[in-house]
Amino acid sequence: MPPPPPYGTYQQSSEDELTHLLRLHIKKDKYFEKVMRKSKWNWPMFLFGPIWLGYRKMYAECAIYIGVLSLMSIFLMLLGSESSGGFAGMGIGMAILANQMYYKKSKKTIDKIMQYHSDPEVRRNLAIQKGGTSGWGIVYAIVIFIVTAAIEFIIEDALL
């Protein structure tokens, strides 16, 4: 089987197909509409942060978010500060950017599917398979959170 063509060399399919595949990828019509109109606030992201990222299959973003929170915590620990303004600011910023991030990630996934697969049925199945939500993503976020909390605890214990 020959390798797929380089990214961007496929013939662009109709916008209707792209929108249809995005709808299948995102799955929930109500959330699809929110993402497509680039809603500026995401309550689940604000309230649950990394768990929402894991749930939406944004695994790298989840790990980065938890990592940044952990580094902020370690930095504050080293300074002897207990200010949580940075955490609140990051939570608000992520809640504002969450829908846009999810749209960009979804569109990139659909673009790759359209690039490498010409069969509409394969495209449809892959959009469904790679999209939606993941219960295991919640577990992933919790495990990463526990590991980073344990590392923070070890560092704090070593500093005292």
**Sign of the CA dihedral 76, 53, 46, 93?**
positive
- Within 8 A by CB and 6+ apart from 10, the residues are 114, 115, 116
Candidates 69, 72, 61; CA nearest to 97 is 61
Amino acid identity at 137: G
Domain ranges of the chain: 43-100+134-159
Read off the pTM.
0.82
Q: pLDDT tens, 44-98? A: 999 999 999 999 999 999 999 999 999 998 888 888 777 777 888 999 999 999 9
